């Protein structure tokens, strides 16, 4: 199991939880499992999210490995100028 | 063969050769957006709403259509009706379509409502007057705080996405909240808490080249588009969606680009030119006037912000909280989330909370502008930190060092930082002669830190070797500031052939796979990483070819200084085989040798900077002069240091304009009052001092050479650094940008 | 509307064109003579990207009508180099990285050349004020001013 830290604006979609536990070995699994556990997370995920694994921000890849015990933050997808 | 994944000793990287496009650009030969024409070409012109908010009751174009010089007229009906409306940013294609050509309502002064193609530019302009539009003028709002108020006119129902809490005005379309710890407990621990509010006006990216394009689209759904853009693949994708054609049938070529800064990351006139072309069955050129650029493209968001920070007597920040309301025009997209996430990112905070609002108003659709959202937040936060330092009698650099984020710090936006360079920039600031230089009476000194995420993005690069041993490199990120030089340096480093023997081309959409836009400070990072990997791919194949010639296993060959060499004494005794010897007969030894990279580099590496500014305020006129400016920023590794300095200087200069002069001025009627460069005054040469730079290099672990993007961070600290300098010089805290002479005089007067 | 026939000299070459009386010199240079080096950044004489020299005087070609070029000597960025030999300003702009996007460069080169013809020893302040009519959004002017000052010094040493 990995703990996924959400940004606090998402609490309204997860019944107040800001940290969600899911079973996932890759970024793709993580997103799938998040939506399975909390279907309302589909909208923010569709709008674009990045996943920070131990501080490294993964913007798109679904196959990035998630090591056991790593620190996972879901972030809004970044845009730039 | 063995390749080191990371590199710290360089032959070409870090040198400062002439840029490959230099000759074209100093002789007038370089082809920008408006510099091409085509046989049979028509000229387009766009009719724009004079109202800030109005229902379009009727458009009668019959007189224009009957005119002998007019070959096509288009309105919204000539675009795809298959683009779905969705809330927030999920329906961005719809948002762009609605911005490109108004549907039921004109949503801001300057919103396109119809367009004409005619036989000359003058004829097109004249014929616009023949189109009759009946408007029902509606109440409008242009101010962010007023747009959130309960009595504000609703711009579009249903535009708010999932994130907006119940009970908010429909103009609030996205909401962000993040942070950690307990700010109330943190404020209770503080010796001093300051709470203050700040306002910044919208500013325009101000690129000197207006949007321009030449489009050809046949009724067979096949088209060609030439345009000035930061990203021709996004232009391809968006135009195809808006016109209802297949993406691959539209080939887009990026012209030389005369500045973008985020403002050319989307489309405005390109789909219109293609729609006109499809109707007229002739190529159509469309070029914006400067006034159209100001009224209908860009600008950045305006902002209204509340900051509360608690500090202990020793300078430790015990809690920090910010509310950031950003106005992004009549569409979702104002980067309130980015402002919130960046505002406190330089600091190692136990208790932090940030809230961002994306608010719609009757203004043009905001576009990214260099670190979109970050400069405003930094202005507010760093102003309060400065005020705390002043009240507690602490040195502003020492306080920032004390609280500075470093490797292992939990960022204000959540994750833990990898290796970052903020502390190094602060230490360089403290040691810099500028920081200890004496000030003259009437002058003030300000400092500020700044943060930006940086971005990776989809990237495709191809590198092809020629028989004579030269190399052609095709990248897909338009070169805005000298990136072809950086790409050639990185390729030279890997291949071991001279910089001059590499020709870098910005390939069109038919020649490479998808490339994300030149934005997010990503070009030197992502296209650079892709170039390195494509070159390594080619080197692998070169080694394979050498191995075959020598008759030894491929893993017994390595690449050194541009030559294949046996990897060790057991591999065999062969003279080094230079690249050109391998390519000379490659057609006969296995065929063309190329290298490729297609992926999304992950690991852009965040970026920090610290700026020092001296400013002098004339109490008679309220005019501010910037007398000295120093930019210190972490580049990870500067590939071409001169162009890195250029990015730092350019960011600082734009920040100076934003801080002191530039603003969108709207009248009571909701019309933009200053839509030419005379009235929207960007810094000119006589306004500025030399801008000193210090390049700090703390390698980014996510790039083979350690590169961090440098394009955007340079505009984050200036607003606050200048505001702090001006506030010290004037003896009064400045809370509103720009700090134009009338505002400074008013502040001096209020202060007695 | 009937067009006017104009005979003029551009970069030393005799040229002719027909133009509408409302068309600017910039329009005529770009659209009729294919000299697209001068750019339209504003159309109101504020940005200087269209700078050319008319009978030795620096003007914004967007503020002058095409018909007014009759009988004049026009010099544009395309005429600054002599054959394949770059003017020292052009050489120094490349070497000093005094351009990023390069769209303001043609106008700035024309304006800087005009400055050095009138004042071979400008102070930094004089150079900054002379070039105040030429907007650059990329560089912050630092490297532009350095390239101009360096060129002035080189030209003084050479003469």
CB atoms within 10 A of CB B158: 12
Assess if residue B593 is contained within a domain. yes
Assess if residue B681 is contained within a domain. yes
How far apart (Å, rounded) are the C-alpha atoms in residues A61 and B601?
9
Residue C1: pLDDT band (50, 70, 90) is: low
What Å distances lie between residue B386 and B445, B624, B677, C156, CA to CA? 11, 19, 33, 48
Mark A51-80 as b/e (b = at least 16 C-beta within 10 Å): bbbebbbbbbbeeeebeeeebbbbbbbbbb
Query: B617 and B510 in one domain?
Result: no
What pLDDT does residue C2 have? 87
Mark C83-121 as b/e (b = at least 16 C-beta within 10 Å): eeebbbbbbbbbbbbbbbbbbbbbbbbbbbbbbbeeeee
Do the beta carbons of residue B614 and residue B624 sit within 8 Å? Answer: no
Residue that is last in its domain, among B556, B576, B599:
B599
Closest by CA to B93, choosing from B331, B276, B329, is B331
Distance between B599 CA and the closest CA of chain C, angstroms: 27
Query: B506 and B424 in one domain?
Result: no
What pLDDT does residue A76 have? 86
Do the beta carbons of residue C52 and residue C96 sit within 8 Å? Answer: no
What Å distances lie between residue B456 and A54, B79, B334, CA to CA? 17, 32, 21
Query: B468 and B439 in one domain?
Result: no
Which CATH number fits the domain that encloses residue B585?
3.30.365.10
What pLDDT does residue B375 have? 98
Residue numbers of the domain that contains B610: 373-454+605-750
Inter-chain residue contact B372 with A61, CB threshold 8 Å: no
Assess if residue B701 is contained within a domain. yes
How far apart (Å, rounded) are the C-alpha atoms in residues B246 and B269?
19
Instruction: Please identify, in words, the CATH class of the domain defined by A2-76.
Output: alpha beta
Residues near B433 by Cβ (< 8 Å), separated by ≥ 6? none
Residue A79: pLDDT band (50, 70, 90) is: confident
Do the beta carbons of residue B495 and residue B483 sit within 8 Å? Answer: no
Mark C47-62 as b/e (b = at least 16 C-beta within 10 Å): bbbbbbbbeeebbbbb
Residue bearing the bigger pLDDT, A45 or C102: C102
Residues near C49 by Cβ (< 8 Å), separated by ≥ 6? B208, C38, C39, C40, C41, C42, C103, C104, C106, C107, C134, C135
CB pairs under 8 A between B and C: 183
What pLDDT does residue B3 have? 41
What pLDDT does residue B304 have? 98
How far apart (Å, rounded) are the C-alpha atoms in residues B526 and C32?
41
Average pLDDT of B152-178? 96
CB < 8 Å to B23, chain C = 86, 94
Query: B563 and B688 in one domain?
Result: no
Assess if residue B195 is contained within a domain. no
The domain ranges of chain A are: 2-76
pLDDT tens, B396-406?
999 999 999 99
Query: B479 and B424 in one domain?
Result: no
Query: B492 and B442 in one domain?
Result: no
Residue A61: pLDDT band (50, 70, 90) is: confident
DSSP-based three-state secondary structure for B447 = strand
Percent of chain B with pLDDT over 70: 99
Residue B5: pLDDT band (50, 70, 90) is: low
CA–CA–CA angle B700, B701, B704 (5° rounding): 90
Query: B671 and B650 in one domain?
Result: yes
Residues shown for chain B: 752
Average pLDDT of B653-660? 98
Query: Residue B201 above 70 pLDDT?
Result: yes
Query: B568 and B692 in one domain?
Result: no
Inter-chain residue contact B179 with A79, CB threshold 8 Å: no
Q: How far is CA B106 from the centre of its chain?
A: 27
Query: Residue C87 above 50 pLDDT?
Result: yes
Q: What is the ipTM of this complex?
A: 0.98
Question: Given the DSSP bridges, would you call strands B577-578 and B563-566 parallel, antiparallel or unpaired?
Answer: antiparallel
What pLDDT does residue C151 have? 98
* Mean pLDDT for chain B overall: 97
Query: B593 and B490 in one domain?
Result: yes
Q: Is B690 on the interface with C (CB under 8 A)?
A: yes
Query: Residue B602 above 90 pLDDT?
Result: no
How far apart (Å, rounded) are the C-alpha atoms in residues A76 and A62?
16
How far apart (Å, rounded) are the C-alpha atoms in residues A53 and A24?
12
Do the beta carbons of residue A45 and residue B216 sit within 8 Å? Answer: no
Query: Residue B220 above 90 pLDDT?
Result: yes
Query: Residue C6 above 80 pLDDT?
Result: yes
Inter-chain residue contact B177 with A43, CB threshold 8 Å: no
Residues of chain C with CATH 1.10.150.120: 88-158
pLDDT tens, C16-59?
999 999 999 999 999 999 999 999 999 999 999 999 999 999 99
Residues of chain C with CATH 3.10.20.30: 4-79
Distance between B183 CA and the closest CA of chain C, angstroms: 40
How far apart (Å, rounded) are the C-alpha atoms in residues B333 and B301?
9
What pLDDT does residue B2 have? 37
Query: B520 and B637 in one domain?
Result: no
Do the beta carbons of residue B22 and residue B103 sit within 8 Å? Answer: no
CB < 8 Å to B18, chain C = 94-95
Direct distance between the N- and C-terminal alpha carbons of chain B, in angstroms, rounded to an integer: 75
Query: B678 and B667 in one domain?
Result: yes
Q: Among all residues of chain B, which has the CA nearest to that of A41?
A: B162
pLDDT tens, C92-134?
999 999 999 999 999 999 999 999 999 999 999 999 999 999 9
Distance between C103 CA and the closest CA of chain B, angstroms: 5
pLDDT tens, B240-265?
999 999 999 999 999 999 999 999 99
How far apart (Å, rounded) are the C-alpha atoms in residues B399 and B37?
58
Direct distance between the N- and C-terminal alpha carbons of chain A, in angstroms, rounded to an integer: 37
Query: B669 and B745 in one domain?
Result: yes
Average pLDDT of B727-737? 97
Inter-chain residue contact B262 with A81, CB threshold 8 Å: yes
Domain count, chain B: 2
Residue B649: pLDDT band (50, 70, 90) is: very high
pLDDT tens, B507-533?
999 999 999 999 999 999 999 999 999
Instruction: Determine the topology of domain C4-79 in CATH.
Output: Ubiquitin-like (UB roll) (3.10.20)
Do the beta carbons of residue B197 and residue B473 sit within 8 Å? Answer: no
Inter-chain residue contact C38 with B206, CB threshold 8 Å: no
Residues near B691 by Cβ (< 8 Å), separated by ≥ 6? B629, B630, B631, B648, B649, B652, B653, C140, C142
Q: Which of residues 33-72 of C touch B (CB under 8 A)?
A: 35-44, 46-47, 49
What pLDDT does residue A2 have? 92
Assess if residue B241 is contained within a domain. no
How far apart (Å, rounded) are the C-alpha atoms in residues C45 and C33?
21
Which runs of consecutive H residues, i.e. helices, occur in B438-527? 483-495
Residue B1: pLDDT band (50, 70, 90) is: very low
How far apart (Å, rounded) are the C-alpha atoms in residues B176 and B340?
8
Peptide bond into B738 cis (omega under 30): yes
Query: Residue B612 above 60 pLDDT?
Result: yes
Instruction: Please identify, in words, the CATH class of the domain defined by C88-158.
Output: mainly alpha
Question: Residue holding tokens 């067009």?
Answer: C3
Do the beta carbons of residue B299 and residue B364 sit within 8 Å? Answer: yes
């Amino acid at each position: 199991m990995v703990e996924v830290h959400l940004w606090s604006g998402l609490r309204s979609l997860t019944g107040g939880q800001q940290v969600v536990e899911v079973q996932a070995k890759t970024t793709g699994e993580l997103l799938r499992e998040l939506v399975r556990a909390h279907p309302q997370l589909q909208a923010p995920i569709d709008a674009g999210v990045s996943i920070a694994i131990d501080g490294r921000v993964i913007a798109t890849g679904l196959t990035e490995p998630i090591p056991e015990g790593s620190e996972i933050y879901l972030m809004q997808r970044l845009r730039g100028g | 063969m063995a390749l080191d994944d990371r590199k710290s000793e360089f032959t070409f990287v870090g040198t400062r050769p002439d840029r490959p496009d230099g000759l074209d650009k100093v002789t007038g030969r370089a082809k920008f957006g408006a510099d091409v024409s085509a046989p049979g070409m028509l000229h387009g012109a766009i009719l724009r709403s004079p109202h800030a908010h109005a229902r379009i009751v009727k458009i009668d174009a019959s007189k224009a259509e009957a005119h002998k010089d007019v070959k096509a007229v288009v309105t919204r009906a000539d675009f795809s009706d298959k683009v779905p409306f969705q809330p927030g940013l999920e329906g961005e294609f719809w948002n762009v379509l609605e911005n490109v050509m108004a549907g039921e309502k004109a949503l801001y002064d300057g919103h396109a409502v119809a367009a004409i193609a005619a036989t000359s530019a003058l004829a097109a302009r004249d014929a616009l007057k023949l189109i009759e539009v009946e408007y029902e003028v509606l109440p409008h709002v242009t101010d962010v705080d007023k747009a959130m108020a309960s009595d504000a006119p609703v711009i579009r129902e249903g535009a708010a996405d999932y994130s907006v809490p119940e009970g908010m005005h429909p103009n609030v379309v996205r909401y962000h909240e993040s942070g950690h710890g307990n700010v109330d407990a943190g404020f209770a621990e503080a010796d001093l808490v300051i709470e203050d509010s700040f306002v910044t006006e919208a500013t325009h990216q101000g690129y000197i080249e207006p949007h321009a394009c030449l489009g050809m689209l046949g009724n067979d759904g096949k088209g060609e588009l030439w345009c000035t853009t930061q990203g021709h693949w996004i232009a391809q994708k968006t135009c195809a969606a808006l016109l209802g054609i297949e993406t691959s049938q539209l080939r887009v070529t990026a012209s030389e680009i005369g500045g973008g800064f985020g403002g050319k990351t989307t489309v405005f006139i390109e789909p219109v030119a293609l729609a006109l072309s499809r109707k007229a069955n002739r190529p159509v050129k469309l070029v914006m006037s400067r006034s159209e650029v100001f009224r209908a493209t860009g600008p950045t968001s305006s902002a209204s912000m509340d900051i509360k920070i608690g500090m202990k007597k020793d300078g430790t920040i015990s809690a920090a909280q910010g509310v950031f309301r950003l106005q992004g025009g009549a569409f979702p997209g104002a980067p309130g989330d980015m402002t919130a996430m960046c505002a406190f990112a330089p600091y190692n905070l136990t208790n932090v909370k940030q809230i961002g609002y994306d608010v719609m108003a009757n203004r043009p659709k905001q576009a990214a502008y260099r670190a979109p959202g970050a400069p405003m937040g930094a202005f507010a936060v760093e102003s309060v930190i400065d005020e705390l330092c002043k009240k507690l009698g602490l040195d502003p650099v020492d306080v920032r060092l004390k609280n500075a984020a470093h490797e292992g710090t939990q960022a204000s936006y959540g994750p833990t930082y990898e290796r970052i360079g903020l502390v190094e920039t602060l230490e360089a600031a403290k040691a810099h002669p500028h920081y200890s230089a004496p000030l003259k009476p009437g002058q003030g000194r300000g400092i500020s830190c700044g943060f930006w995420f940086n971005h990776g993005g989809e990237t495709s690069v191809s590198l092809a070797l020629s028989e004579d041993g030269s190399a052609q490199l095709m990248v897909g990120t338009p070169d805005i500031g000298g990136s072809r030089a950086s790409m050639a340096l990185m390729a030279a480093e890997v291949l071991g052939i001279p910089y001059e023997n590499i020709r870098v081309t910005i390939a069109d959409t038919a020649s490479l796979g998808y490339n994300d836009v030149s934005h997010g400070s990503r070009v030197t990072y992502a296209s650079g990483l892709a170039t390195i990997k494509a070159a390594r791919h080619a080197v692998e194949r070169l080694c394979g070819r050498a191995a075959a010639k020598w008759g030894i296993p491929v893993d017994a060959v390595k690449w050194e200084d541009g030559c294949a060499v046996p990897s060790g004494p057991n591999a065999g005794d062969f003279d080094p085989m230079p690249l050109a010897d391998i390519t000379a007969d490659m057609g006969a030894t296995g065929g063309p040798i190329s290298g490729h990279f297609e992926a999304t580099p992950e690991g852009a590496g965040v970026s920090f900077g610290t700026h020092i500014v001296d400013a002098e305020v004339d109490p008679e006129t309220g005019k501010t002069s910037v007398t000295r400016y120093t930019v210190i920023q972490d580049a990870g590794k500067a590939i071409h240091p001169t162009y890195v300095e250029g990015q730092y200087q350019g960011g600082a200069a734009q920040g100076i304009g934003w801080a002191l002069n530039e603003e969108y001025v709207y009248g009571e009627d909701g019309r933009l009052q200053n839509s030419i460069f005379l009235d929207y005054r960007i810094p000119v040469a006589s306004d500025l001092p030399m801008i000193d730079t210090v390049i700090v290099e703390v390698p980014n672990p996510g790039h083979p050479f350690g590169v961090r993007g440098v394009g955007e961070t340079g505009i984050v600290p200036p607003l606050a650094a200048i505001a702090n300098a001006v506030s010290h010089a004037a003896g009064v805290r400045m809370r509103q940008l720009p700090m134009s002479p009338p505002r400074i005089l008013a502040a001096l007067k209020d202060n007695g | 509307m009937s067009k006017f026939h104009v005979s003029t000299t551009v970069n030393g070459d005799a040229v002719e064109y027909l133009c509408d009386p409302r068309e600017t010199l910039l329009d005529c240079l770009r659209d009729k003579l294919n000299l697209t080096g001068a750019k339209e950044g504003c159309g109101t004489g504020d940005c200087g990207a269209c700078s050319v020299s008319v009978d030795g005087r620096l003007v914004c070609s967007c503020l002058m009508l095409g018909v007014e070029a009759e009988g004049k000597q026009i010099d544009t960025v395309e005429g600054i180099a002599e054959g394949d030999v770059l003017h020292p300003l052009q050489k120094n702009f490349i070497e000093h990285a005094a351009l990023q996007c390069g769209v303001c460069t043609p106008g700035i080169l024309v304006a800087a050349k005009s400055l050095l013809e009138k004042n071979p020893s400008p102070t930094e302040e004089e150079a900054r004020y002379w070039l105040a009519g030429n907007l650059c959004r990329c560089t912050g002017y630092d490297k532009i001013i350095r390239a101009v000052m360096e060129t002035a010094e080189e030209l003084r040493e050479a003469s």
